[in-house]
Amino acid sequence: MDIGVISLTVLLGMLGLLAIGMPLGFASGFLAVVVMVMKFGPDLLFSSFGTGPLNILAQRMYGLCTDYVLISVPLFILMATLLERSGIARDMYDSLTRWLNRTRGGIAIVTSIMAVVMAAMSGIIGGEVVLLGLIALPQMLRLGYNQNLAIGTICASGSLGTMIPPSIVLIMYGLITETSIQALFTGAFVPGFILAFCYIVYIIVRTRLNPSLAPLPEPEADDLPPAEKYRAFAILMGWFVGVWGGGALVHAALIETQNAFGLLRPTDYAPYSGSQLLFYGALALAGLFVPTLMFGAARARKTWAMSKGLVAPLVVVFVVLGSIYGGVTGITEAAGMGTVAVLALIIIRKEFSLALVRDALMRTFRSTGTIIWVTFGATALAGAYTIAGGPTYVANLIVGAEMPTLGILMVMMVIFLFLGAFMDWVGIVLLVMPVFLPIVLKLPPEEIGLFGPLADARSYVPVWFGILFCVNMQVSFLSPPFGPAAFYLKSVAPPHITLPDIFRGFLPFIAIQLLILMLVLFFPELTMLFRQ
């Protein structure tokens, strides 16, 4: 049968099945069977089982579902659920609030910063929005914050886990496209933090222009005067420098230990020189002790009292991202280490219970099961459509339109935005990326971006396109009518806050996301700043 008819059947069939409420995994699996029958005839399902196109399809599904990196997905989900059930996030929120409570819009800024740290810990979106809705929304509404500002801040910041490593979206994209996940993490670092920074700048500017949107809370007895808070902040920054120096020493020790056991090749690492070790050692000692000597032990104790809630989250971030970027472990091992670190912190904080672990495991099983079923169905459909010649047909259709390179990319962005309003990101990356990425790889790299920075870096195109896709998925989490963030927040919001209210609060933040999408599209060099 003609591939054009098959493509139209897949498109209309997917829209129809999703409209009647069929889960995406089952809908895409059913359509995979329809595509195979339309292309090869009904006899294929009975006479050629285990051979020919069906064998290719089975190998494709088996290869994806047995990829070692896939294990990191349930581990990161487990880490997020453990964090959500423990008091680590609430203590972090309290510490950040003590630092910024006298700043206009401070609670909203705290919410955004907390979302960044949580995204860097686990990369899970739904849990972040729910947790911020439980912790931050009542506080902002109690203080008289504008409802739209509070809602938009929580949901937009809570979806940062799409961009900021370790992002589950980036992991799945890397698995599907066989792109280096570490390169994706490195490339997404700058755009992700630019997006978070833009949220914070928007909050600061808007609350300065209209102070009634974010009233200042009443002063409390233990609030530090501004001058004292600046001194405490200097102490805190000194401690961060000391910890950074100590972290470099720990990294050197881990690398040398691995080398001593023959786990590293000489090309895998650059050993620290003696002068480097002395420098980092001096930095650690100076950072940890000089601020206390300069400002006094009493101020140091106050600084610790204000900041101790940040220790546990930063430990988790250091374990996960430090082990990945430091070259100590891979993605999967880092996810396991992060989960163990969270469990250890929960035990140290005396919050551990079998009920907590059981609840976290059950939620992990449900979330992972959903992702796996969607992976089965969408991989089957993408594979069947590929065997039927779909990607070549779509490529010829788009390229045959004789649009410029940026025009083709803009069309893809519009399609992503449209699909994101109706489908889950897992289905989009599994169904659409096998069709779109080959087209992007055929585009002239010197015509990508305004200044053609990819002209000499063709191999980097999949990394850049993956990050571009993730920014699109940021928008999809807020896009009506099915923006998941709205429903996550609605599940924990007060009854008087309706879904239209929630979507109304998203509008300024969607505009910011679209701005960052254009920046990454026109300036790919933003994703290449830390490229190795």
DSSP 8-state secondary structure symbol assigned to residue 217: P
* CA terminus-to-terminus distance, the chain: 47
In this structure, is the dihedral angle defined by the CA atoms of residues 452, 458, 460 and 464, taken in order, positive or negative? positive
- Of 479, 478, 463, whose CA–CA distance to 520 is shortest? 463
CA distances from 172 to 308, 383, 425, 475, 515 (A): 35, 16, 10, 18, 25
d(CA 223, CA 301) in angstroms, rounded, equals 14
Element (H or E) spanning 94, and its range? Answer: helix 88-100
CB atoms within 10 A of CB 318: 18
- Torsion, Cα 466 476 368 77, to 10 degrees, reads 80
Average model confidence (pLDDT) across the chain: 84
Identify the three-state secondary structure at position 399.
helix
Exposed e or buried b for every residue in 9-48, given b needs 16+ CB within 10 A? ebeebbeebbeeeeebbebbbbbbebbbebbbeeebeeee
- pLDDT at 306 > cutoff 80: yes
- Dihedral class, residue 385 (left if φ above 0, else alpha if ψ from -120 to 50, else beta): alpha
Q: Which pLDDT score is estimated for 288?
A: 84
Instruction: Provide the CB-side half-sphere exposure for 399 (13 A, CA).
Output: 15
CB-count exposure of residue 258 (10 Å: 0-12, 13-18, 19+)? middle
Q: Which pLDDT score is estimated for 43?
A: 66
Listed in sequence order, the residues at least 6 apart from 18 whose beta carbon sits closer than 8 Å to its beta carbon are: 24, 27, 422, 423
CB atoms within 10 A of CB 70: 18
CA distances from 97 to 101, 106, 140, 433, 457 (A): 5, 7, 11, 41, 44
Please, are residues 398 and 392 in contact by the beta-carbon 8 Å criterion? no
Note the pLDDT tens digit of each residue in 190-210: 999 999 999 999 999 999 999
Q: Chain-centre distance of CA 420, in angstroms?
A: 16
Note the pLDDT tens digit of each residue in 379-420: 788 788 888 887 777 777 776 667 888 888 988 898 888 888
Q: How many residues does the chain have?
A: 532
Note the pLDDT tens digit of each residue in 322-362: 888 777 777 888 888 888 998 999 998 888 888 888 988 88
Note the pLDDT tens digit of each residue in 428-455: 888 888 888 888 888 888 888 777 777 7
- pLDDT at 47 > cutoff 60: no
Q: Which pLDDT score is estimated for 196?
A: 93
d(CA 86, CA 118) in angstroms, rounded, equals 13
Q: Which pLDDT score is estimated for 274?
A: 80
Kindly tell me the number of DSSP H helices and DSSP E strands found in the chain: 24, 0
With pLDDT > 90 as the criterion, what percentage of the chain qualifies?
A: 13
- State both tokens at 82: 């453990």
- Of 232-236, 284-288, 309-313, 372-376, which range is least confident? 372-376
Identify the three-state secondary structure at position 449.
coil
Vertex 157 angle, CA 226 and 96, to 5°: 25
Summarize the confidence of residues 228-246 as an average pLDDT.
Answer: 88
Q: Confidence class of residue 50 from pLDDT cuts 50, 70 and 90? A: low
Q: Which pLDDT score is estimated for 388?
A: 81
Note the pLDDT tens digit of each residue in 257-290: 777 776 666 555 667 778 888 998 998 998 888 8
d(CA 393, CA 59) in angstroms, rounded, equals 23
- pLDDT at 49 > cutoff 60: no
- Of 520, 463, 432, 396, whose CA–CA distance to 24 is shortest? 432
- Of 126-130, 246-250, 295-299, 500-504, which range is least confident? 126-130
Summarize the confidence of residues 238-259 as an average pLDDT.
Answer: 83
Note the pLDDT tens digit of each residue in 112-159: 998 888 888 876 777 788 888 888 888 888 888 999 999 999 999 988
Summarize the confidence of residues 229-242 as an average pLDDT.
Answer: 88
Residue listed under structure tokens 């720990």? 250
Summarize the confidence of residues 26-42 as an average pLDDT.
Answer: 82
Please, are residues 445 and 458 in contact by the beta-carbon 8 Å criterion? yes
- pLDDT at 171 > cutoff 60: yes
- pLDDT at 318 > cutoff 80: yes
- Of 36, 131, 122, 115, whose CA–CA distance to 339 is shortest? 122
- pLDDT at 502 > cutoff 60: yes
- Residue 264 or residue 491, greater confidence: 491
Q: Which pLDDT score is estimated for 210?
A: 92
DSSP string for residues in 174-199: HHHHT--HHHHHHHHHHHHHHHHHHH
Q: Which pLDDT score is estimated for 123?
A: 67
- pLDDT at 229 > cutoff 60: yes
- Residue 48 or residue 319, greater confidence: 319
CB-count exposure of residue 219 (10 Å: 0-12, 13-18, 19+)? exposed
Q: Which pLDDT score is estimated for 312?
A: 87
Q: Which pLDDT score is estimated for 425?
A: 81
Please, are residues 114 and 92 in contact by the beta-carbon 8 Å criterion? yes
Q: Which pLDDT score is estimated for 423?
A: 76
Q: What is the pTM of this model?
A: 0.85
- Three-state secondary structure of 334-401: HHHHHHHHHHHHHHHCCCCCHHHHHHHHHHHHHHHHHHHHHHHHHHHHHHHHHHCCHHHHHHHHHHCC
- Residue 369 or residue 148, greater confidence: 148
- State both tokens at 189: 């670092």
Q: Confidence class of residue 68 from pLDDT cuts 50, 70 and 90? A: confident
